Amino acid sequence: MTDEPIKPPDPGKGVRMLRDMEPQLFPPKYPDIHVQLTGQDGNAFAILGRCLAAMKEAGVPGLERNQFIEQATAGTYDDLLKTCMEWLDVG
């Protein structure tokens, strides 16, 4: 056992960590746009295309869709899925 004090978590990361653990606590940016991902093609491009098609059909402006693309493609496959859940109602 060590005598070092326990450091509290970085307050700037606390909200993000909670969001990662409990995404249902935070509604998506566009809660009225539903995209079914389970039981569908899991290819990243197919997921991206399905989300973008739903956003376009719902009338989301092109600039917003471009921001979604930038965020969704900036990281890993898991980041893509997180972005979809942050922006849309995903099932």
Q: Are 43 and 21 in contact (CB under 8 A)?
A: no
- Model pLDDT, residue 6: 63
Domain hosting residue 57, numbered range:
41-91
Extract the tokens encoding 11.
């307050």
> Does residue 72 belong to any structural domain of this protein?
yes
Helix (H) or strand (E) holding 71: helix 62-72
Q: Does 74 fall in a domain?
A: yes
Q: Give the integer Cα–Cα distance in Å for 18 and 4.
A: 26
Structural domain includes residue 5? no
Among 91, 89, 69, residue whose Cα is nearest residue 80? 69
Question: In the block, which residue shows the tokens 């995209």?
Answer: 35
Mean pLDDT, consecutive 10-residue stretches, the chain (91 aa), reads 61 49 73 91 92 97 96 94 94 88
**Average pLDDT over the chain, rounded to whole?**
83
Does residue 78 fall inside a structural domain? Answer: yes
Tell me if 8 is assigned to some domain: no
